[in-house]
A and B are shown apart, each in its own frame.
Chain A
Amino acid sequence: GQQVMQIPQYQHVQEGEDFTTYCNSSTTLSNIQWYKQRPGGHPVFLIQLVKSGEVKKQKRLTFQFGEAKKNSSLHITATQTTDVGTYFCAGRSLYNQGGKLIFGQGTELSVKP
């Protein structure tokens, strides 16, 4: 079945350092979404990417969708303590576009002030 893999599992950074998490799908995706889950909280939608090669920015966050629509990345520039949480990518298979959204394992980011 469809699998979405994410690395690294954990990332500890000093405040001000950059952070990147990578997401890979076993199948071509129709779109990819990114969510952030604060400790003890629920996943909160950040952004969706639909087009091959798409790049979107939200302030210090940059999201990319690969040309083959099988991978994606989230890059945070100059991390802040408010960035702490687990970042999940989630994708729907191109071949089952109305189907389930499959989440990656998440990357837990901790930021040391």
Chain B
Amino acid sequence: EPEVTQTPSHQVTQMGQEVILRCVPISNHLYFYWYRQILGQKVEFLVSFYNNEISEKSEIFDDQFSVERPDGSNFTLKIRSTKLEDSAMYFCASSGIGGAYNSPLHFGNGTRLTVT
């Protein structure tokens, strides 16, 4: 069964450094998402992406965050200057041709970001 893949599985960075989290969504999916989950807490929406542009973003997704789909397969999340509070598990997800309305989200295994 096709799956969403994320790399790296764990990223450790120093405060103030830039990080790029990478995702390869399921190949025929059109909608892409980033969510994050602070340890033991809920899954929080960051951003959705469709047709090569951001369709919606949350208050968390400030100017320090950006997303890109640089080619036909990768979907990246960049954090320009990391803060301690950015430490979390970051999940990439994609949904299929059923559209944004009814399609389930397929999540990757996540990247655990630790900011020291």
Binding site for B on A (CB under 8 A): 30-31, 33, 35, 37, 41-45, 48, 50, 88, 90, 92, 97-106
Q: Could you tell me the distance between the alpha carbons of A33 and B101 in the complex, rounded to whole angstroms?
A: 11
Q: Which of B35-65 contact A (CB under 8 A)?
A: 35, 41-45, 48, 55-56, 58
Contact (Cβ within 8 A) A98 B104: no
Counting chain A CB atoms within 10 Å of each CB, the highest count among B99, B105, B106, B109 belongs to: B105
Q: Which A residues touch B33, using CB under 8 A?
A: 101
Q: Which A residues touch B25, using CB under 8 A?
A: none
Binding site for A on B (CB under 8 A): 33, 35, 41-45, 48, 55-56, 58, 91, 99-102, 104-110
Contact (Cβ within 8 A) A104 B42: yes
Q: Which B residues touch A41, using CB under 8 A?
A: 109
Contact (Cβ within 8 A) B100 A42: no
Closest B residue to A2 by beta carbon equals B45
Q: Which B residues touch A103, using CB under 8 A?
A: 35, 42-45
Contact (Cβ within 8 A) B43 A43: yes
Contact (Cβ within 8 A) A98 B99: yes
Residue in contact with B102 in the complex, picked from A48, A90, A105, CB distance below 8 Å: A48
Q: Which A residues touch B35, using CB under 8 A?
A: 103
Residue in contact with A99 in the complex, picked from B43, B56, B107, B108, CB distance below 8 Å: B56
Least Cβ–Cβ distance between B112 and chain A, in angstroms: 10
> Are A98 and B55 also in contact (CB < 8 A) when A31-B102, A42-B110, A45-B104 are?
yes
21 A–B contacts, CB within 8 A, in A order? A37-B43, A41-B109, A42-B91, A42-B107, A42-B109, A43-B91, A43-B107, A44-B107, A45-B105, A45-B106, A48-B104, A97-B101, A99-B100, A100-B48, A100-B58, A102-B45, A103-B35, A103-B42, A103-B43, A105-B42, A106-B43
Residue in contact with A92 in the complex, picked from B44, B101, B109, CB distance below 8 Å: B101
